[in-house]
Amino acid sequence: MSTADLVTDFLEYCELEKNHSELTILNYEHYLRRFLEFAGKKAGDNFGPEKIDLDLVRSYRLFLNRYTDQYGHNLKKITQNYHIIALRSFLKYLAKRDIKSLSAEKLELGDAKRKQIDFLEFDEVVKLMDAPFSDKKQDNELIKTRDKAILEMLFSTGLRVSELVGLNISQVNLDRGEFMVRGKGSKDRVVFMSEDAKHWVNEYLKLRTDDYKPLFIRALTGKYQEEDGEYFRLTARSVQRLVKYYTKLSGIIKTVTPHTLRHSYATDLLINGADIRSVQSMLGHSSITTTQIYTHITNQQLRDVHKAFHGKRRG
């Protein structure tokens, strides 16, 4: 069986057995097809998995490092690493099937710059949360209350924007202030709401006169009617626009997106003493490594503690 056939088997395995998301599978396919194209030129189109060795991988990494697109742009180091991660996952699959090839453990990732995490300071969060009701251009109480509820939900739950807009009224328990959400890779996790988020979602729902399913909908205009209200469900793009609008209105000079509020949620938990495993669970990260990108943010907090309490007896 050729390596190309085995890649197809691997992608089907990711879909059926590993339950990876459609996006993950598409990315794996893209990265592995690029490897097949490169390796095919080196070892022949129908090369077997036994032809994959460290020399071939080293040549492939040089190819990725020197690769430029039609605009003359190089691949970022993190993108190069994604290619190697996909290849490593494929090699682990081959080992699982007892197919002779290079050991996945021999592939090392290149050094990449730590991803920059943007988050809001506490006073900036307060300004942003207050922005909807300070908007003098908006006189629609329903829209202001909806937007206030959205901002409070994003900050208090750490939801991804896709998870937020996918919520239905029936799945949110306002009495308990918690609900289940299905995130990346179809993984379910419990989400907790703050008292502010519970209050404003409840206020928003009291103003709603429809019986549509979606928790957050756009303004109802005209006489268009449908059974479940999917047509009116707020989109991720709409939420991104409203966050951008209220950021500007509140005078915050940072670029703020719904994901910035997710970062702020995680950072707030860590700074206030939450352990990283709990934060991992609440964010829905499958790997602790993903959550660890937030730990360097709290280094300043540790530095302040050190400065305040260390060496006082020597003064």
Alpha-helical runs (H) found in the chain = 3-16, 22-43, 54-66, 77-96, 122-130, 141-157, 161-165, 195-207, 236-249, 258-271, 276-283, 288-291, 299-309
> Cβ(279)–Cβ(291) under 8 Å?
yes
Cα gap 29→96, rounded to integer Å: 19
Catalytic residue of the set 160, 198, 233, 263: 160
**Bridge partner list, 233:** 217
> Cβ(4)–Cβ(43) under 8 Å?
no
262 is catalytic: yes
HEC secondary structure over 75-130: CCHHHHHHHHHHHHHHHHHHHHCCCCCCCHHHCCCCCCCCCCCCCCCHHHHHHHHH
> Cβ(225)–Cβ(211) under 8 Å?
no
Phi, psi torsion values for 230, nearest 5 degrees:
-60, -35
Q: What does DSSP assign to residue 234?
A: P
> Which of 299, 290, 265, 275 lies closest to 114, judged by CA?
290
Q: How far is CA 14 from the centre of its chain?
A: 20
294 is catalytic: yes
114 is catalytic: no
Catalytic residue of the set 34, 51, 92, 184: 184
306 is catalytic: no
Catalytic residue of the set 208, 218, 244, 259: 259
259 is catalytic: yes
263 is catalytic: no
Which residues are marked as active site?
160, 184, 259, 262, 285, 294
